Amino acid sequence: MQEMFIGEVIKQRRTELGLTQEQLCEGICEPITISRMENGKQTPSRNRVIALLQRLGLPDDRYFALLNKNELELDKLQKDVVSYNVRYQRASNKERIKAKEDALAAVEHLENMMDEDDSISRQIVIRSRVLLGKESGEYSFDERINLLIEAIRLTVPRFDLDEIGACLYSYDEIKIINQIAGTYSDFEQHEKAVDIYSQLLEYIQKHMEIVPSTKSHLPMIAFNYARELYFLKRYDEAIEIAELGRQICINYGHYTNLPELLSVLAECKHFLGDDKESMSLYRQSYYLCKILANERGIIVVQKEFKQYFGEEIKD
């Protein structure tokens, strides 16, 4: 992909969506930068170009042909941080201390490498630290919410939890909103979490359906949304959302959240009285957790299967 081509594509997509240059670039760069980019006179930094492409629902993978050595190293480090975060979340209790140490080391490395004005890398650092917690323990509810709101407003100054659809978002910004909803859930404010996930799912379906790679976000949001509906005992609605996520996983090969989606379906089926289907879904979830080395998922499925059916789930 050449520089002029990037500018032309951005201008065409922006026009199709009826967006002004100011609306597209808010929080990312100045409107004059977009104007120069669309005219082939300037290409912003790698982080900013990718964020613009993602806000427009456009694929960003081909842009890597233009990255220099430092940008490639920064991109790899950002991916490493995300990978360590996932490993931490999925680690068993005995492995979490080491997983946290590795994740924090990667975050510190990213902090040392990024430029002072690199708001996108800064967002990754903040949401990683919220996830991993402080050395002395977890952040409080207010601390977590305030940090995550601070993070997203680095690039979306007008962000409002009650009007999520009023702005445009990159993938990282979507992850921050997901993390905000998860914080409400962790502190048992499930109605608020459901409201956030409902708005977020609607946004993704409206703005990002055209790009297959973005469908990897749908299973994540669908799982979290379905889980919140389950907590509120809205089982039929939870099944509908979880089925949406399962189909996306299967159709597009995004299997990371499939075990959790199956587990939510299994639990809802149990409470609706269909234990035969519930047991089948739990077994599918269990085997996938083993394949994907999801230790925490394995423990959860084993515990719930024993609790609901009075027997051990077998290999």
Q: Which domain holds residue 18?
A: 3-67
The domain that contains 63 carries what CATH number? 1.10.260.40
165 is a domain residue: no
pLDDT of residue 208: 65
Residue 310 and residue 254 share a domain: yes
Domain end marker among 67, 94, 110: 67
The DSSP string of 169-222 is: --HHHHHHHHHHHHHHHHTT-HHHHHHHHHHHHHHHHHHSTT-GGGGGHHHHHH
Residue 39 and residue 116 share a domain: no
15 is a domain residue: yes
Residue 48 and residue 122 share a domain: no
Residue 296 burial class via C-beta count within 10 angstroms: exposed 0-12, middle 13-18, buried 19 and up: middle
296 is a domain residue: yes
Separation CA 163–CA 141 (nearest Å) = 21
Separation CA 301–CA 149 (nearest Å) = 33
Q: Confirm if 302 and 286 have CB atoms less than 8 A apart.
A: yes
Domain end marker among 67, 84, 112: 67
277 is a domain residue: yes
Residue 42 and residue 106 share a domain: no
Domain end marker among 92, 109, 138: 138
pLDDT of residue 147: 97
Residue 77 and residue 60 share a domain: no
Structure tokens belonging to residue 218: 């749908």
221 is a domain residue: yes
What dihedral angle (degrees, nearest 10) is formed by the CA atoms of 110, 126, 98, 313? Answer: -130
170 is a domain residue: no
Sign of CA dihedral 206, 208, 209, 214: negative
Residue 224 and residue 254 share a domain: yes
Separation CA 239–CA 307 (nearest Å) = 21
DSSP-derived 3-state class of residue 256? coil
77 is a domain residue: yes
Residue 131 and residue 35 share a domain: no
162 is a domain residue: no
Residue 91 and residue 43 share a domain: no
Residue 133 and residue 72 share a domain: yes
Q: Is 250 left (phi over 0), alpha (psi -120 to 50) or beta?
A: alpha
Secondary structure element (H or E) that encloses residue 295, with its range: helix 295-309
Sign of CA dihedral 240, 234, 200, 304: negative
Domain count, the chain: 3
What does DSSP assign to residue 139?
P
Residue 50 and residue 32 share a domain: yes
261-305: pLDDT as tens digits: 999 999 999 999 999 999 999 999 999 999 998 988 999 999 999
Q: What is the pLDDT along the chain (315 residues), one digit of tens a residue?
A: 333 467 888 888 889 888 999 999 888 888 898 888 888 777 667 778 888 888 887 766 555 444 556 766 787 888 899 899 988 988 888 888 899 999 999 999 999 988 888 888 899 999 999 999 987 788 999 999 999 999 999 999 999 999 999 998 888 899 999 999 999 999 999 999 999 999 999 998 887 655 455 566 889 999 999 999 999 999 999 999 999 999 989 988 889 899 999 999 999 999 999 999 999 999 999 999 999 989 889 999 999 999 999 999 987
10-37: pLDDT as tens digits: 888 889 888 999 999 888 888 898 888 8
Q: Confirm if 175 and 131 have CB atoms less than 8 A apart.
A: no
* Greatest C-alpha distance within the chain: 68
Separation CA 241–CA 250 (nearest Å) = 15
Residue 98 and residue 24 share a domain: no
